[in-house]
Chain A
Amino acid sequence: MKWKYAVPLVLLALLAALPQFLPRFHIYIIAIVLLTGLLATSLNLAIGFGGIYQFHHAVFYGVGAYGTALMLTRSGLPAPLCLVAGPIAAAALSLVMGIICVRLSKLYFGMLQISLGSLVWAIVYRWYSFTGGDNGIPGIPVPEWIASPEGAYYYILAVTAVCMYALHRIVRSPFGKALEGIRDNPVRSEAIGIHVRLHQLAALVIAGFFGGVAGSLFVVIDTSVFPDMMFWTYSLEVLVMCLLGGMYTFFGPLVGSSILVLLRTYVSVYIPYWHLFLGIVLTLLIIFLPDGVLGFAVRRFRPKEGRLA
């Protein structure tokens, strides 16, 4: 069944062709859509497939971005190394936070995680001499080969595609299946010999790493970072993206983040009250479409399989 790769490949080719006939602003927006999609998909590995209440995912996005930004501005190391440093820092933080949180369940996990994340946010927000405090870091020197908008776009497209493929492989692997098993029935999973905590910790670290990759991509396209990236409200917005697209599908979060980012960009031009709009949409969604746009489509049009490949 090789044709199942057809849709992603055609989409990829389409996205690669876009810079030839779209103005710069739209290229920027599509790059943001892509990296936000990666961020939401990485969160979905923990919350949708793992059933872990990762409430403060944006902190890894922020640390990935700040890690890359600080390395680029302050260290003389070669750029590729700096671009990788952010995600590794995010993965390391995810490991530490995971070790502290993972023995708790559900809401308690989420709350301790949000507390640790807020701690990181508070430090970044106040450490003026190192992180620039609430001003963030503007004008980050991005290496030449990705400095032009087109260069940045192609870099982001390539990295996002590779990461999405990697995440897809992870979800489809025995590890991913074990994770789903833990989500659906932790006690039974434990009984058949799955190390529940270890699997959850691994999922958190992977999610944190790819969240950090999304952060470092943001640095490439925007050449600035600011603490709002890792404020808890943004984490909930990413959660909304997962819900909007469909949490139990792989591509749902990507669909959700595309809808949300594009809506925000084009709707907030006409409606000054974006939050009101978002709140109403979200309320309707929760009441009428709880398994998301893609989840609904899958259920409606492919009743047998139930889940998108």
Chain B
Amino acid sequence: MGFLEILFSAGTLSQILTGLSRTTILFIVSSGLSLILGVLRIPNIAHGSLYMIGAFTAYSVISFLGGGTFAFFAAMVAAPLVVAAIGFVMERGFFSYLYDREHLMLLLLTFSFALILGDLVKIFWGTEFRSVEPPAFIQGSAEILGLPVPYYNLFLLAVGPFIAVFLWLVVNRTKIGKISRAAAVDAEMVSAVGINVGWVFAFTFVLGCFLAGLGGALIAPMTSVSLGMDHSLIMEAFLIVIMGGLGNVWGALLGSLIFGLSQSLGIMVWPQFGIVFPYLAVVVVLSFRPRGLLRSVW
């Protein structure tokens, strides 16, 4: 089969759709990470654990309510809120006292939280794999050019842009969003004009954690919910954020697109080494644009 034939085949299209639905998840999680990095300057390794807790909470809510459309949407609201609450405790209880430490210390502190949260998930939910059914109205798959594409993937594709626009509105059109952007550039100056920077930081951190939880809840029906889902994701999210430009929401979107698509297309081109391609993409991007594709707030 020639190169062009592969490029325009139905298989490629379905791979692109798979890649794009994964992009949505990556974007939601990494934009939260990016917000926290941009404003608070914390490289939050525990972000992946929060994502995992989001997925497990979604599982618990759905199985508690016995499945169905209502249970699904209840889980999509409850899981991010639970994760946001954990984030609030983390920020107010620990990070807010340690902002003057160097990045390395903060990184290790979030690593210790990742370890603690990972084991707490093991204590609460055990080590078995869990699976979540998507609600009835988005079960099954559509047929596109003769290949089945799960409706749930299409649902995610529709959700993605909403989140992007919502985030843009929060960051650019609300007062707290504007203050948080100012705090990202110069926190001292912001506090000098009489704004309580501590609460701006808390708000940003909680919003970032909310997004981690939402990403986890949304991915629950797509994969098996299990321990260890945090490890691969947090690395991917970090690389996306670095590739896109620290603290830039659109950068996170662009980075997620590159990452998700290079992953799904890479698997098609060279199944054995498909997982290598996203890392390769990051190396290429950073070799040419060391500070990320879009302008970083740092």
Chain A interface (Cβ < 8 Å from any Cβ of B): 47, 53, 100, 103-104, 106-108, 111-112, 114-116, 118-119, 122-123, 125-128, 231-233, 236, 239-240, 243, 273-276, 278-280, 282-283, 286-287, 290
Contacts and interface: CB of A to CB of B under 8 A. Distances in A.
13 contacts: A103-B290, A108-B286, A112-B286, A114-B239, A128-B272, A233-B231, A239-B104, A275-B116, A276-B116, A276-B123, A278-B115, A282-B112, A287-B94
Interface size grouping (class) on chain B: 35 or more
B279 interface: yes
A233 B107 CA distance: 12
Query: Which of B98, B111, B118, B273 counts the most A-chain CB atoms under 10 A from its CB?
Result: B111
A287 B112 CA distance: 12
B275 interface: yes
Interface in B84-99: 94, 97-98
A106 B123 CA distance: 36
Contact of A108 (B109, B272, B291): B291
A52 B282 CA distance: 20
A13 to B, nearest CB: 35
Given A53-B104, A275-B119, A286-B101, 9 more contacts: A106-B103, A111-B238, A112-B290, A114-B239, A115-B279, A126-B275, A276-B120, A279-B116, A282-B111
The secondary-structure label for the interface of chain B is: helix
B279 A111 contact: no
Interface string B258-297: 0000000000000011011001101100110011000000
Given A100-B287, A111-B242, A286 B108 contact: yes
Interface string B104-130: 110011011111101110110000000
B235 interface: yes
B283 A112 contact: yes
B71 to A, nearest CB: 31
Interface of B: 43, 45, 94, 97-98, 101, 103-105, 108-109, 111-116, 118-120, 122-123, 231, 235, 238-239, 242, 246, 272-273, 275-276, 279-280, 282-283, 286-287, 290-291
